[in-house]
């Protein structure tokens, strides 16, 4: 059972008994007990296993004595919206970008506050290992159509009236973006050119994982054929988005973070901006240059949201395509990131391929996955191999010099180390990447 409890969610295979309806039912009851909850919002994605898992989750919650607001099949950030706007804890049944035979459970406290390993998930894992006491009452279930309110909420954060009639190619990956994207574009000037917007949890066209370049091929072709101003690729539960410029070139998460941070700092001078430690140095340098306060944090949504709450940050960004907004209850939203970029483009009157050059001074490797059975030993060897560098252990191992740096982190779920390298040019990045991999031991490495 412990294998499905991750750092900031629950996730596992449904075809091998890792994640079962019984476990979902137990988690529901434990979640109610942990929070002394009276009502919980529950949404789910379009995977074949989601209806059964969400029904079991609802059974566990109601048996625990709490009522349920059943939101139906929605993006994860709709659950965050209901949690934030109504002051309720929330549950989303989703495995995000994982293959169809996986599913998972994302949890949040009232106000969309995260529930991770250090903020309640470890307690839930311990609670589900033993019988839960009967609550003495059974909660009610009522349905809520939350999407119209969610769209209205997102549009209150941007100024749709300032948007120009840009052409936007959107690849939903057959995931949950397709449940809301038409409603969003019905209320803004930009034109939607849709691709794979039909909900299909078998993901028949390509995996709903836009972090992998091969999954962007169809969208890049559509941007070119339609002469779109912007391309948007969503992951399976639509809390994450990746962007393609007008020339068909993908933006890194760091580039998007920098562009959105600049937009916020023009409106809220001196604001704090959170970035995880794998984003480009360009992000904190830009924030500092513009008079803002950059705040570096660990990778992962529960950590980012917690730091935003502690520091009052207006925005947070991750290299992996998660973008967090204080005005959105500090929750991540791929759709809101898209809307902000549309306003950035509209206000500048320039092409994205031009704007991006202003925030991309460095070369980067992207994430390299290195297979090893001795993650801890490999990280220790690498740390010892660079005695002249500055080293920190905020999240894995970060080794840095004035003109270059790398981070090496263990995967939570696989025998992999994840390597990210940044330097002044491609040659320096390749040289440092090879040096690190040689220290690890020549393991097979892939992007």
Q: Which of these is catalytic: 49, 54, 83, 96?
A: 96
Say which CATH number the domain at 258 has. 3.40.120.10
Tell me the CA distances in angstroms from 87 to 39, 237, 289, 415, one per residue in order. Answer: 10, 22, 37, 39
Which phi and psi angles does 400 have, rounded to 5°? -140, 150
Model pLDDT, residue 1? 53
Read off the pLDDT of residues 368-380 as tens digits, 9 standing for 90 and up: 999 998 999 999 9
**Cα distance between residue 197 and residue 191, in whole Å:** 15
Residues 10, 81: one domain?
A: yes
From 319, 337, 359, give the residue that closes a domain.
Answer: 359
Residues 6, 132: one domain?
A: yes
Residues 334, 380: one domain?
A: no
CB 193 within 8 A of CB 223: no
Residues 295, 352: one domain?
A: yes
Read off the pLDDT of residues 166-197 as tens digits, 9 standing for 90 and up: 999 999 999 999 999 999 999 999 999 999 99
Model pLDDT, residue 263? 98
Model pLDDT, residue 2? 59
From 359, 381, 406, give the residue that closes a domain.
Answer: 359
Domain extent, residue 87, equals: 2-146
Say which CATH number the domain at 395 has. 3.30.310.50
Model pLDDT, residue 301? 79
Residues 13, 141: one domain?
A: yes
**Cα distance between residue 224 and residue 226, in whole Å:** 6
Active site includes 83?
no
Residues 185, 84: one domain?
A: no
Residues 217, 267: one domain?
A: no
Record the pTM: 0.95
Domain count, the chain: 4
Residues 14, 130: one domain?
A: yes
Model pLDDT, residue 447? 46
Residues 45, 116: one domain?
A: yes
Residues 289, 163: one domain?
A: no
Model pLDDT, residue 413? 67
Model pLDDT, residue 131? 87
Which residue in this structure is represented by tokens 């490495």?
445
**Cα distance between residue 316 and residue 324, in whole Å:** 5
Residues 137, 158: one domain?
A: no
Tokens of 185: 């574009």
State the sign of the Cα–Cα–Cα–Cα dihedral 216, 79, 112, 7: negative
pLDDT of the chain along its 447 residues, tens only? Answer: 558 998 889 999 999 999 999 999 999 999 999 999 999 999 999 999 999 999 999 999 999 999 999 999 999 999 999 999 999 999 999 999 999 999 999 999 999 998 988 899 999 999 999 888 777 889 999 999 999 999 999 999 999 999 999 999 999 999 999 999 999 999 999 999 999 999 999 999 999 999 899 999 999 999 999 999 999 999 999 999 999 999 999 999 999 999 999 999 999 999 999 999 999 999 999 999 999 999 999 988 778 988 999 999 999 999 999 999 999 999 999 999 999 999 999 999 999 999 999 999 999 999 999 999 899 999 999 999 999 999 999 999 999 999 999 999 998 767 899 999 999 999 999 999 999 999 998 444 454
Residues 9, 133: one domain?
A: yes
From 297, 327, 359, give the residue that closes a domain.
Answer: 359
């Amino acid at each position: 059972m412990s294998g499905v409890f991750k750092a900031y969610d629950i996730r596992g295979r449904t075809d091998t008994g890792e994640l079962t309806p019984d476990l979902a039912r137990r988690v529901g009851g434990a979640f109610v007990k942990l929070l002394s909850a009276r009502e919980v919002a529950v949404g789910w994605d379009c995977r074949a296993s989601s209806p059964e898992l969400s029904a079991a989750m609802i059974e566990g919650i109601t048996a625990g004595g709490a009522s349920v607001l059943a939101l139906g099949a929605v993006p994860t950030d709709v659950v965050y919206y209901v949690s934030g706007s109504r002051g309720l804890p929330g549950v989303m049944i989703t495995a995000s970008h994982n293959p169809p035979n996986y599913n998972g459970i994302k949890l949040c406290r009232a106000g969309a506050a995260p529930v991770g390993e250090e903020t309640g998930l470890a307690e839930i894992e311990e609670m589900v290992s033993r019988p839960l006491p009967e609550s003495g009452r059974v909660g009610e279930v009522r349905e809520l159509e939350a999407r119209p309110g969610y769209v209205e909420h997102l549009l209150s954060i941007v100024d749709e009236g300032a948007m120009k009639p840009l052409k936007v190619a959107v690849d939903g990956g057959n995931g949950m973006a397709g449940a809301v994207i038409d409603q969003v574009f019905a209320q803004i000037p930009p034109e939607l050119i849709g691709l794979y917007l039909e909900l299909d949890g078998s993901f028949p066209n390509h995996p709903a994982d836009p972090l992998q370049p091969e999954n962007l091929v169809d969208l890049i072709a559509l941007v070119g054929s339609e002469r779109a101003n912007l391309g948007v690729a969503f992951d399976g539960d639509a809390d994450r988005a990746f962007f393609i410029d007008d020339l068909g070139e993908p933006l890194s998460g760091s580039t998007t973070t920098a562009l959105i941070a600049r937009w916020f700092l023009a409106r809220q001078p001196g604001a704090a901006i959170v970035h995880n430690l794998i984003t480009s140095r360009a992000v904190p340098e830009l924030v500092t240059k513009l008079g803002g306060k950059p705040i570096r944090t660990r990778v992962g949504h529960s950590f980012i949201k917690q730091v935003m709450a502690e520091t009052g940050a207006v925005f947070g960004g991750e290299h992996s395509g998660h973008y967090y907004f204080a005005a959105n209850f500090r929750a991540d939203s791929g759709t809101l990131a898209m809307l902000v970029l549309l306003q950035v483009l509209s206000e500048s009157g320039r092409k994205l391929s031009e704007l991006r050059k202003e925030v991309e001074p460095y070369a980067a490797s992207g994430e390299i996955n290195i297979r090893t059975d001795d993650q801890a030993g490999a990280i220790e060897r690498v740390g010892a191999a660079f005695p002249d560098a500055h080293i920190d252990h905020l999240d894995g191992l970060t080794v840095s010099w004035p003109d270059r740096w790398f981070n090496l982190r263990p995967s939570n779920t696989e025998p992999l180390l994840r390597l990210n390298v940044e330097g002044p040019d491609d040659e320096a990045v390749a040289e440092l990447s090879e040096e690190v991999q040689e220290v690890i031991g020549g393991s097979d490495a892939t992007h």
